Amino acid sequence: MKRLYKIFQTLLSTYYAYMLEYRAELLLWALSGCLPIILMGVWTQAAQGGAFALTSAQFARYFLAIFLCRQLTVVWVIWEFEREIVEGKLAFRLLQPLDPVWHHVWSHIGERFARLPFIAVIIGLFILLYPSAFWIPDAGTSALFILVSICAFALQFLIQYTFAMFAFWTEKASAIQELWFLFHLFLSGSIAPLEVFPPGVRQVVEFLPFPYILHFPASILTGLPVDYLRSFLIMGIWAGIFYAINRYLWRKGLKQFSGMGA
């Protein structure tokens, strides 16, 4: 346990330092996730003219929260993993007495910290744009939000890492991810809160993993009604399913894998 703690601490500080090298690139990445800010404009404008489930200010808050959640849950493990397989680098990682997944996990977490200053800037911009919509969630809500965001990140990571396993068999596993991302984009609540979906669609979507990665934490932060028990349950079930598939494919894939020198 103590050994693991030491390893994780080292990995985190290494990857954090590594990510700081790419600050300009990180800024661009974060900027390219500006879709929620664009949609914020359309929906706040629409809410002033039409009858929607949320008010203009609620829309503004919701999309700021979505922006935050996207920054916190973004995952790119499949592209890294694919490269390691294609270039045979996984072979070296396998020699280490540590599951290679931890390198990816900690590089993601390290990157999150490098992103924080940028997130602060965007929040500042939000206050300038919509001063009346600005709100400060209380401590309990914030704590819950952070907890759920961590779970959401874990689920998102688990899903993508499971798709990454297909890299053992095909050179283009990331194509699966790209198709999946489309569903994620439209069903996770990032183009619009589920509250404005047609009720039938919403009921189906709520059983899928998508809304729990963005809509669920965003709803907590903005104070929209949430069914905690059911949400956690569905999240847990999906995490379990993907974990099982992931470990199964990992074992199968390793037998398949023949990197340089392996």
Q: What is the DSSP string of 82-94?
A: HHHHHTTTHHHHH
Q: Coil, helix or strand for 230?
A: helix
How many angstroms separate the CA atoms of 160 and 229, rounded?
Answer: 25
179 lies in the binding site for another protein (CB under 8 A): yes
Considering the complex, what minimum distance in angstroms separates the CB of residue 244 from another protein?
A: 26
Q: Nearer to another protein by C-beta: 54 or 65?
A: 54
Identify residues 47-66 at the interface with another protein (CB under 8 A).
49-52
87 lies in the binding site for another protein (CB under 8 A): no
Answer for the pair 223, 193: CB distance below 8 angstroms, yes or no.
no
Piece of the chain touching another protein by CB under 8 A; list 18-26, 81-89, 105-113, 253-261? 18-26
24 lies in the binding site for another protein (CB under 8 A): yes
Closest CA to 189 of 204, 205, 169, 173: 205
Question: Residue 233's CB: how many other CB atoms inside 10 A?
Answer: 11
- Exactly one of 3, 32, 131, 255 binds another protein (CB under 8 A); which one? 32
Q: Nearer to another protein by C-beta: 56 or 73?
A: 56
- Exactly one of 12, 94, 150, 196 binds another protein (CB under 8 A); which one? 196
Hey, what are 153's tokens? Answer: 């990140």
**How far is CA 4 from each of CA 18, 109, 121, 151, 168, rounded to the nearest angstrom?**
21, 16, 35, 21, 27
Residues 6+ apart with CB under 8 A from 82: 164, 167, 171, 172, 173, 174
28 lies in the binding site for another protein (CB under 8 A): yes
Considering the complex, what minimum distance in angstroms separates the CB of residue 23 from another protein?
A: 12
Residues 6+ apart with CB under 8 A from 182: none
90-94: long-range pairs with CB below 8 Å, 24+: 90/257, 90/259, 91/257, 91/259, 91/260, 91/261, 91/262, 94/254, 94/262
Q: Nearer to another protein by C-beta: 115 or 235?
A: 115
Considering the complex, what minimum distance in angstroms separates the CB of residue 76 from another protein?
A: 12
121 lies in the binding site for another protein (CB under 8 A): no
Q: Nearer to another protein by C-beta: 129 or 239?
A: 129
Considering the complex, what minimum distance in angstroms separates the CB of residue 197 from another protein?
A: 7
Q: Nearer to another protein by C-beta: 41 or 124?
A: 41
Residues 6+ apart with CB under 8 A from 215: 66, 188, 189, 193, 194
- Exactly one of 18, 113, 169, 186 binds another protein (CB under 8 A); which one? 186
Which residues would be at the binding site for another protein (CB under 8 A)? Answer: 22, 24-25, 28-29, 31-35, 38, 41-42, 44-46, 49-52, 129, 172, 175, 178-179, 182-183, 185-186, 191-192, 196-198
